[in-house]
Structure 1
Amino acid sequence: MCPRRWTRTTIARPGCRSDRPAQVRSVSRVLRQLVTIPLLALGVALVAYVLIDALPGDPARVVAGAGADAGNVEAVREQLGLDKPAAQRLLEYLGGLFRGDLGTSFQTGRPVLTELLAVFPTTVQLAVVAEVVALTAGLLIGALAALRGGRFASNALMTGSAVAVSLPMFALALLLQLVFAQWLGWLPPSGSGGILSAAIVLPAVTCAIPSAGFVARFARASIAGHLDDEHVRTAVAKGVRPATVGRRHVLRVSYGPLISVAAADLSRLLGGVAIVEVIFSWPGAGKYAYDALVHRDLPALQGALLAITIVVLLTNQFAEIAYRLVDPRIGAHDD
């Protein structure tokens, strides 16, 4: 048995995982998880291919058009390769993946990878802007509820956060679009643009409101959990101003867990932003996947799902790396 904890009399035993420094164990764990990402992506690609290929509807008829006769539909089916056996198409798809080829879009005739590289940056822009807004608002609300607010103010802020978390994304998007675009006319109801464009405001706020509520609740719990720490009580006893105590002694030690929460929320936004992109006609990967589903563009839909999955997995992994850099004690718990 390897010793669980070190003492002065502990004798190092060859082969024990506990003999390695915490940093080495942490790096080893991260590398193991990075190796599993391609395997997970391959599994997702297989499942997505089988499920998408089983979708009802005939892609050849959609591409040929509603007025096409049976001969034209059959010619299109042969052109798209849909006349081949399912097993052969699956093997060709997997072979293309290993070559970095996601296939060719049925609708545009362009490589799916090229189209995804064109639309994915807009999704990342939307998710990053929404996450920045959510973190700013959530940290402010959580800190106020934990440090400054009385019982009534704290309960009111946390109730508002709970309501924000529970709001359905599609309903919130439609409500904001109705109020600020249709009734007040302050913002465009849809469109595209960069980070500084007015078109990004409504979709970013829609994504940010539930995330801000989640961050606020977590921030309040994290900050409140450190208010009774010894160094905090010592600072208060020395007469340090409450604002300084909160900023230097409480907020600083609460950043570590918040990094993992923010990264996990960012991956959630990247994976679930499709409905917002569709409602606001934001030309990102989510809308690209939705349009591919509507038009039965199987290669485009499969490529979009695979790309989103890989980005979410990488985001989660980078979050863990950042968390370990902020708090090296995490590596001490790796087996």
Structure 2
Amino acid sequence: MGRYVARRLLQMIPVFIGSTLLIFLMMYALPGDPVRAMWGEQAVDEAQIAALKHDLGLDLPLWHQYWNYLSGLFQGDFGTQIASQRPVADIIEQAFPVTVRLALFAFVFTVVAGISLGVIAGLRAERWLDKGLLFVTLLLISVPSFVLGYVAQFVFAFQLDWLTPTVQDSENFGDLTMPALVLASLSLAYVTRLTRTSIAENMRADYIRTAVAKGLPRRRVVGVHLLRNSLIPVVTFLGTDLGTLLGGAVVTEGIFNIQGVGFTVFEAINRREGSTVVGIVTLLVIVYLCASLIVDLLYAVLDPRIRYA
């Protein structure tokens, strides 16, 4: 196990460098000059712009800028935002906890509700409950998140007055309820369908028939033998979905006025703040890589036949 983890950690290094280099090159390939944009339409001395670029290291070759970024990254320096001259680490420290709370709320709801509904549908395959759940999940997959967000606002905030239309306090999980459910809707649909398909398929497996023939209680057959083997594809999806929830909340955070990572990245792209975007994406890449490693290790927990040399 230890050798496998060490090998996976070594494999993460080229993936990390390649992904951060790609987003670095993409951001700096965008048209426009973020330093000059600080003055808008006002006339500005070119020498002043050149001096600011020199202070920020933006006059160096692109490979040198990336090397400086990596060097600073290992010291906890994510760079400096051009417009405000604030360290990107401070911006991440302010925005990331907001999105983490929102994403974890959505993730827990996805795991609990999605797996539960999937098990119920899988155990009653081809019955009316199964068909009803498949219709609802297909509807959630088909409806764009921004449409679902505005519909939820209209119904639950303006018509029923159950929830606030926008988030007033990001530390209040009550305010985060509606955006978390909207954010989790697509993931919930996929987890439900994956779990349902896996449960229905494994119900016909020989080891389940053997367990039933041995007279094991139904709860043990479902909870130990059936569920553990059926969760492998679901865990694979959930591992990548956690990173998706953290990075893909741009639309949801915009609709519900949440000052999180998605909102910050959207504003940074509009202002061509490459250092901010690269810093946040770097953190998300680390989350993806760690989640992928945890998922691989969970395979051995769910299926005892899997062993890591």
Structure 2 unmatched ranges of 5 or more: none
1:293–1:77 distance in 2 versus 1, CA, 3 Å: farther
Name the CA distance, whole Å, in 1 between partners of 2:292 and 2:168.
27
Instruction: Report the equivalent of 2:38.
Output: 63
* Residues 151-170 of structure 1: pairs in structure 2 closer than 5 A: 151-170=127-146
Instruction: Report the equivalent of 2:24.
Output: 49
180-189 or 206-215, larger mean C-alpha shift: 180-189
Instruction: Report the equivalent of 2:48.
Output: 75
Residue 254, structure 1, aligned to residue 227, structure 2:
no
SS of the equivalent of 1:59 reads: coil
Amino acid at match of 1:273: A
Residue 131, structure 1, aligned to residue 146, structure 2:
no
Amino acid at match of 1:68: Q
* Residues 117-196 of structure 1: pairs in structure 2 closer than 5 A: 117-148=93-124, 150-191=126-167, 193=169, 196=172
How far 1:175 moved relative to its partner? 2.4
Contact 2:229 2:303 in 1 (8 A): no
Name the CA distance, whole Å, in 1 between partners of 2:256 and 2:68.
36
1:77–1:288 distance in 2 versus 1, CA, 3 Å: farther
Name the CA distance, whole Å, in 2 between partners of 1:324 and 1:239.
27
Name the CA distance, whole Å, in 2 between partners of 1:104 and 1:218.
43
1:83–1:273 distance in 2 versus 1, CA, 3 Å: closer
Amino acid at match of 2:28: D
1:50–1:280 distance in 2 versus 1, CA, 3 Å: same
Contact 1:80 1:106 in 2 (8 A): no
Contact 2:88 2:276 in 1 (8 A): yes
1:179–1:76 distance in 2 versus 1, CA, 3 Å: farther
Amino acid at match of 2:27: I
Indicate the RMSD between aligned Cα atoms, in angstroms. Answer: 2.7
Contact 2:134 2:193 in 1 (8 A): yes
Contact 2:250 2:266 in 1 (8 A): yes
1:220–1:30 distance in 2 versus 1, CA, 3 Å: same
- Which digits, 9 at most, give the CA deviation of each residue in 1:57-110, with x for residues without a partner? 22123322x352122x65245224376144353443343234332211123322
Instruction: Report the equivalent of 1:319.
Output: 295
How far 1:310 moved relative to its partner? 1.6
How far 1:217 moved relative to its partner? 0.9
How far 1:163 moved relative to its partner? 2.2
1:166–1:74 distance in 2 versus 1, CA, 3 Å: farther
Amino acid at match of 2:138: A
Residue 40, structure 1, aligned to residue 15, structure 2:
yes
Structure 1 unmatched ranges of 5 or more: 1-23
SS of the equivalent of 1:69 reads: coil
SS of the equivalent of 1:104 reads: coil
- Which digits, 9 at most, give the CA deviation of each residue in 1:272-300, with x for residues without a partner? 22222222222222211112112222211
Question: What is the TM-score with the length of structure 2 in the denominator?
Answer: 0.86
Name the CA distance, whole Å, in 2 between partners of 1:77 and 1:198.
49
Amino acid at match of 1:79: L
Name the CA distance, whole Å, in 2 between partners of 1:130 and 1:219.
18
1:75–1:184 distance in 2 versus 1, CA, 3 Å: farther
208-217 or 168-177, larger mean C-alpha shift: 168-177
1:76–1:279 distance in 2 versus 1, CA, 3 Å: farther
How far 1:133 moved relative to its partner? 0.9
Name the CA distance, whole Å, in 1 between partners of 2:229 and 2:296.
17
Contact 2:228 2:303 in 1 (8 A): no
Name the CA distance, whole Å, in 1 between partners of 2:23 and 2:80.
17
Contact 1:164 1:213 in 2 (8 A): yes
Contact 2:228 2:302 in 1 (8 A): no
146-155 or 214-223, larger mean C-alpha shift: 146-155
Question: What is the TM-score with the length of structure 1 in the denominator?
Answer: 0.80
How far 1:220 moved relative to its partner? 1.0
SS of the equivalent of 2:85 reads: coil
Name the CA distance, whole Å, in 2 between partners of 1:248 and 1:96.
48
Name the CA distance, whole Å, in 2 between partners of 1:259 and 1:267.
13
Amino acid at match of 1:216: T
How far 1:236 moved relative to its partner? 4.4
SS of the equivalent of 1:330 reads: coil
How far 1:237 moved relative to its partner? 5.0
